[in-house]
Amino acid sequence: MIQAFTKFSITTDIRKLLIENVELQSIVNSNIFPILAPEGTTGDFIIYYRDKYGKEYTNFGIFNEHCTV
């Protein structure tokens, strides 16, 4: 089960989901990196980044958070 995403946890949660995907593992192993691949990375790999983040508010506080990765 995925917990509610936050600005800081979304990239960690997305990486975990990608690494657990058997089909992706067969292609890139665990070469899935946020923003940049480390220098010297060889072969196929995936990079990802958070493109957009926002919150919706009500009078009681934050109602919803949304993120585009």
End-to-end CA distance of the chain: 19
Query: What is the CB neighbour count within 10 angstroms for residue 32?
Result: 20
User: In total, how many domains does the chain have?
Assistant: 1
Q: What is the pLDDT of residues 5-26, one digit of tens each?
A: 555 567 778 888 888 999 999 9
Could you tell me the residue range of the domain that residue 50 belongs to?
10-68
How far is CA 23 from each of CA 8, 52, 54, rounded to the nearest angstrom?
Answer: 27, 27, 31
In a domain, 1, yes or no: no
In a domain, 19, yes or no: yes
Q: ∠ CA(4), CA(66), CA(52), 5° rounding?
A: 130
In a domain, 2, yes or no: no
Q: What is the pLDDT of residues 40-53, one digit of tens each?
A: 999 999 988 777 77
In a domain, 5, yes or no: no
**HSE of 10, CA atoms in CB hemisphere, 13 A:** 15
In a domain, 4, yes or no: no
In a domain, 18, yes or no: yes
